[in-house]
Amino acid sequence: MNREAVVPESAMDGEEFVRATEPYRRELLAHCYRMLGSFDDATDVVQETYLRAWRAYDAFEGRSSVRTWLYRIATNTCLTALTHHSRRVLPSGLGAPEPDPTAAPVPAAPGVRWIQPVPDALFGPGTEAADPASVVLAREDLRLALVASLQYLSGTQRAVLILRDVLAFTAPEVAAMLGTTTAAVKSTLQRARTRLRQLAPAAEDITQPTAPEAHHVLDQYIAAFQNADASALEHLLRRDATLEATPFTTWFAGNHTCVPYLRTWVLGSPGDWLMLPTRANNQPAAMTYARTPQATYHAYGLAVLTVTTTGIRHIHAFHDPSLAELFGFPPTIGPA
């Protein structure tokens, strides 16, 4: 005898919850990354956000959109996380640049929490994206220098600035999300904008050339590194270029110190490095491999370039082999 299949009510609720909330996962991840400066922390908070949302979904009365409701949960979860951890930094946030290019890099003390890069592929359009505009929002304002600057704001200032200026929520919407008044939101936003103007890079430092031009600069950078060609690197770097690399506190400002440091401590011989092009934080980047005595290449980390129309303004290097997996690269390549 045939029996009609009965779908449990909990399963139907689960399917409805997924349909209603899943289209916003990528942009929520970008939002939490801006707030926290860490892909790992952002991933954890997004998971917690969806868990809290699932538990509260039956009580959701539709007084706001699902998207606004999820941002309220995610933002407050981020603010809670920020009360338990120190801010994340780049080496340039820990002190002045090193004037001596022959100085050995100094490892940071244990416990320093570093800004983490994120692959552009995580925020590209996907089949789950219900609104193309939301994907664009998720890609904007992810550049490393701006994410690092945001970490100097208080948690509330950070939240208000991102929700208002990046995501374009209204002041009353933000007030409702944070449990405060519209007047308080406007005052906090003004203070946050003032502080960010003091911290953020100049306009020319974040203005990108066309995509083909930036890609061409990245190709030249990779070729110079793989050939251990310091002169080619000097030609690519602007005179005011800066270089910093985690997990070291040592960093350099000015072509005159960056290039000698690279020549002394990093470049080595032709073939010591292998680099593969990628993109991180909406910037050109190179996954970096170091050659072993067995002629294989092991993942070393990631170099993220700030490219302007007049050359490379900044090199952020991250010594973290685990980034290879995050960016979709193998941990080992070779033999050469």
Domain ranges of the chain: 9-84+118-200, 205-333
Contact partners, residue 135, CB within 8 Å, separation at least 6: 26, 27, 123, 124, 125, 126, 129
**In whole angstroms, what is the distance from residue 69 CA to residue 76 CA?**
11
Asked if 196 and 221 count as a contact pair (C-beta separation under 8 A), the reply is no
Task: Report the chain's mean pLDDT, rounded to a whole number.
Answer: 89
Q: What pLDDT score was predicted for residue 203?
A: 45
Count CA atoms within 13 Å of residue 237 on its CB side: 25
CATH of domain 9-84+118-200: 1.20.140.160
pLDDT tens for residues 34-52? 999 999 999 999 999 999 9
Q: Among positive and negative, which fits the CA dihedral 14, 19, 22, 24?
A: negative
Q: So what CATH class is 205-333?
A: alpha beta
Residue 241's nearest CA partner among 225, 262, 224, 214 is 262
Name the more confident of 150 and 3.
150
- The pTM assigned to this predicted structure is 0.88
pLDDT tens for residues 163-183? 999 999 999 999 999 999 999
**In whole angstroms, what is the distance from residue 99 CA to residue 172 CA?**
49
**In whole angstroms, what is the distance from residue 219 CA to residue 276 CA?**
9
140 phi-psi bin (left φ>0, alpha ψ -120 to 50, beta other): beta
Domains 9-84+118-200 and 205-333 belong to one CATH topology: no
pLDDT tens for residues 266-322? 999 999 999 999 999 999 999 999 999 988 999 999 999 999 999 999 999 999 999
